[in-house]
Amino acid sequence: MDNDYTGQLIFSGDAQGCIYTVSINSHIGSISRSHKNRSMRSKSLITTVQYRTFSLVARCPVLLVCAQDGNICFFSVALEIKGYLTRLCSLKLAPRLHSIHASFCPLLSLEKGEFIGT
């Protein structure tokens, strides 16, 4: 689970491979689901959801999502459409015995674009 820099959007994943965008209005205390994304290829547990304000590659906010079966997806985030996700690319890692997690590597990403560690 992760949130955008304003705290108005929360991104989370479930055990079926779906990614949810939830809108929060802190002024009136309301929470509502904005979008449900099923573009992960498999129905596997989501182990990582990580938001990044800006990407050199995508030139917009991005979301990194990793599933337990080794599928990694990279989404652009449309903040003006309440966090609508568009898949930019995906990668399938070899299966492992343990859960796979992914993370942005900020120092390496500054030099070479997006660098993701698993």
pLDDT at residue 83, as a whole number: 87
Who's near 106: CB < 8 A, 6+ residues apart?
none
Please state the pTM of the whole predicted model: 0.79
Rounded average pLDDT over 48-75: 85
Q: Where are the domains of the chain?
A: 2-117
pLDDT above 90: percentage of residues in the chain: 19
Position 108 confidence tier, pLDDT thresholds 50, 70, 90: low
Examine the pLDDT at 29 and tell me if it is beyond 90: no
For 81-97, write each residue's pLDDT tens digit: 888 999 988 888 877 66
pLDDT higher than threshold 90 for residue 116: no
- Is 69:21 a contact under the CB 8 Å cutoff? no
**Confidence (pLDDT) at 2:** 87
Other CB atoms within 10 A of residue 10 CB: 20
8 A C-beta contact, residue 116 and residue 57: no
Is the CATH number 3.40.190.10 carried by domain 2-117?
no
**pLDDT level of residue 5 (50, 70, 90 thresholds):** confident
